[in-house]
Amino acid sequence: MKLFHNATFFTMKAEDDTLKAILVDDDGIIIDVYREMPILPAEIEHIDLQESFVYPGFIDTHTHSFEGGLYSLAANLNEVRSFRELFEILSQIKPIDGKIFAFSLDEMQLAERRFPTNEELDEIYPHNPVMIRRIDGHSAVLNTYALKSIPWSEKISTVSNGLLRGRLNDEAANWFHQISEDWILRAYQEASQIAIQNGHTTIHTMIGDGRNDPEHYTLIAKNLHLFPIGFILYPQIFDVHKAVELGARRIGGCLLADGSFGSHTAALLQPYADEPENYGLLYHSDKFWLDFVTEAHNEDLQVAVHCIGDRAISQLVNTYFTVQKNINKDLRHIIIHNELTNEDIILKMAAASITAAMQPMFDQLWAGEDGMYQRVLGGKRVQMTNRFKTLGKHNIKIGGGSDWYVTELNALKGIDAAINHHNPNERLSNFEAISLYTKDAAYLSHDENVIGTLEKGKFADMVSTNIDLLCPFDYKNIEITKVIKRGNILA
């Protein structure tokens, strides 16, 4: 047994609920908690946490961990500001199974304010396939070698200069992700280490092509014991029968109801401010979603669907509401992202016990006077984005996430962003913001009885920091001092 002590333990059951020590058995389960330091037999291992502040291990409810791990082995273009920098980084990338990956490019941050063309990429890599993904993942640019290598479902042309959106973007990404099992496992190991560095003990991840191929789901499911953190898996497919066959408890993750604001493909009830004729795209009909969700609901599968614009969110909320009204089950169907919501949507979410997996960093990156939201949505609708406080007031459970690789796999940054939301009316208290990544995140996956708070009978998943996150803090001063999974110190 182990006694963790010399710290302030925030149970996250209530804002003022703290402990002085936690006793953990050899299976990593908390068997006792103490308000004062106990006197215990000497043979119990004492672990001194050096006056730190301890919280339940952070949970990220929405990641693309395979892509994030894979791309982390390649090149992150988030800080690139010119073609010169871009081409210098690309020239130094080492191929993965012969393929060249780069991600998180924001073309509007480049001096050239455009994507490079396939011909420009050809000058660096004429004989390797190259893919550069936009920051939101909804666009990508390929070189000519890649364009000619991919077995497209329909004939395409290089007239687009190698720039792909929508279905073609998805086809390209799926082809690039076809790599050996060794590389796949290495990508998830890399994801695990990045998660640990930032205080996570559990992360949700999607596996599948977004249609009917679960890809390497079985490989990861049977090798979960290899990873130091917990992965909660979503077969990212529309094939409900296959999900049941795989033994999954949920389905979806990034099944797309619409696209993204940055690509002007998120489905809106009112047109884009900068493209007055464009309302974005609904990727499927109402009937399609009703049939799919009904089938999954009948099989007791929790459904999670990517919805960004208010028209797409409304479409799925109406679907969940109808299905739940017909057969009431505690499945906690999820709206992923849930970025633009009106009052009617929120009321119906509450009525149908719908949950949301949201990304506070989206607000920090794209809101504000000069942000992308302002440009594409206009000032009034910006105030209706990422409505954490309003959703909470309606008792809608929100799990915090990163959408990694789109933003960093970093709960502390997410907590900071939720506390400092651009709209004062949507800012969360420190306790509420931490709850997004602990007890509320555990609720989303039906794991509230085993993780998410520090109490007897639950796993000893913990993260400690050098400062008290329940008090005002400067993010730049935070250090993660320990990460503990089931009583084992990971970092």
CATH number at residue 398: 3.20.20.140
> Which residue segment(s) compose the domain that 92 sits in?
67-176
pLDDT 10s digits, 172-190? 999 999 999 999 999 999 9
Judge if 351 and 267 occupy the same domain.
Answer: yes
Judge if 350 and 403 occupy the same domain.
Answer: yes
Judge if 196 and 296 occupy the same domain.
Answer: yes
**140 Cβ neighbours under 8 A, 6+ residues apart:** 131, 132, 133, 134, 163, 164, 169, 172, 173
Asked, for residue 463, whether it belongs to a domain, the answer is no
Asked, for residue 459, whether it belongs to a domain, the answer is no
Q: Is the pLDDT of residue 159 over 70?
A: no
Element (H, E) at 108: none
pLDDT 10s digits, 26-39? 999 999 999 999 98
Q: Is the pLDDT of residue 55 over 70?
A: yes
Q: What is the mean pLDDT of residues 353-378?
A: 95
CA dist 43 and 55 (Å) reads: 26
Q: Is the pLDDT of residue 379 over 90?
A: no
Q: What is the pLDDT of residue 153?
A: 87
Q: Is the pTM of this model over 0.85?
A: yes
Judge if 385 and 414 occupy the same domain.
Answer: yes
Q: What is the pLDDT of residue 155?
A: 81
CATH of the domain at 50: 2.30.40.10
Domain boundary among 150, 176, 202: 176
pLDDT 10s digits, 192-241? 999 999 999 999 999 999 999 999 999 999 999 999 999 999 999 999 99
**Long-range own/partner contacts, residues 298-302 (CB < 8 A, 24 or more apart):** 298/327, 299/240, 299/243, 299/244, 300/249, 300/329, 300/331, 301/240, 301/243, 301/244, 301/248, 301/249, 301/250, 301/251, 301/331, 302/249, 302/250, 302/251, 302/331, 302/332, 302/333, 302/334, 302/446
Q: What is the pLDDT of residue 154?
A: 83
Q: What is the mean pLDDT of residues 288-298?
A: 98
Query: Six-digit token pair at 110?
Result: 């480049």
Domain boundary among 152, 176, 200: 176
Judge if 123 and 217 occupy the same domain.
Answer: no
The strand pairing partners of 67, in sequence order, are none
pLDDT band at 21 (very low <50, low <70, confident <90, very high): very high
Asked, for residue 456, whether it belongs to a domain, the answer is no
Judge if 444 and 363 occupy the same domain.
Answer: yes
pLDDT band at 138 (very low <50, low <70, confident <90, very high): confident
Judge if 194 and 250 occupy the same domain.
Answer: yes
In single-letter form, the type of residue at position 455 comes to E
Q: How far is CA 484 from CA 47, 200, 223, 269, 491, in A?
A: 11, 9, 21, 45, 7
Domain boundary among 176, 195, 220: 176
Asked, for residue 460, whether it belongs to a domain, the answer is no
Residue with tokens 């800080």: 79
Strands 462-465, 398-400: pairing is unpaired
Q: What is the mean pLDDT of residues 241-264?
A: 96
- Tally Cβ neighbours within 10 Å of residue 400: 30
Judge if 368 and 399 occupy the same domain.
Answer: yes
Strand-by-strand arrangement of the 230-235 sheet: 58-63, 200-207, 230-235
CA dist 42 and 26 (Å) reads: 16
Asked, for residue 458, whether it belongs to a domain, the answer is no
pLDDT band at 381 (very low <50, low <70, confident <90, very high): very high
Query: Six-digit token pair at 89?
Result: 């980084």
Mean pLDDT of the chain: 96
Q: What is the pLDDT of residue 216?
A: 96
In single-letter form, the type of residue at position 27 comes to D
Judge if 148 and 291 occupy the same domain.
Answer: no
3-state class (DSSP) for residue 241: helix
Q: What percentage of the chain exceeds 90 in pLDDT?
A: 90
Q: What is the pLDDT of residue 166?
A: 81
CB 337 within 8 Å of CB 358: yes
Q: For residue 39, with 0-12 CB atoms within 10 Å meaning exposed, 13-18 middle and 19 or more buried, which class applies?
A: exposed
CATH of the domain at 130: 3.10.310.70
Based on the structure, what is the number of domains in the chain?
A: 3
Query: Six-digit token pair at 354?
Result: 């719908």
Q: What is the pLDDT of residue 136?
A: 85
DSSP string of 389-426, one letter each residue: HHHHHTT--EEE--TBTTS-S-HHHHHHHHHT-SSGGG
CA dist 31 and 206 (Å) reads: 33
Q: Which residues of 3-19 are buried (b: 16+ CB within 10 A; e: fewer)?
A: bbbebbbbbbeeeeebb
pLDDT 10s digits, 314-330? 999 999 999 999 999 99
Asked, for residue 462, whether it belongs to a domain, the answer is no
Judge if 318 and 395 occupy the same domain.
Answer: yes
Judge if 150 and 203 occupy the same domain.
Answer: no
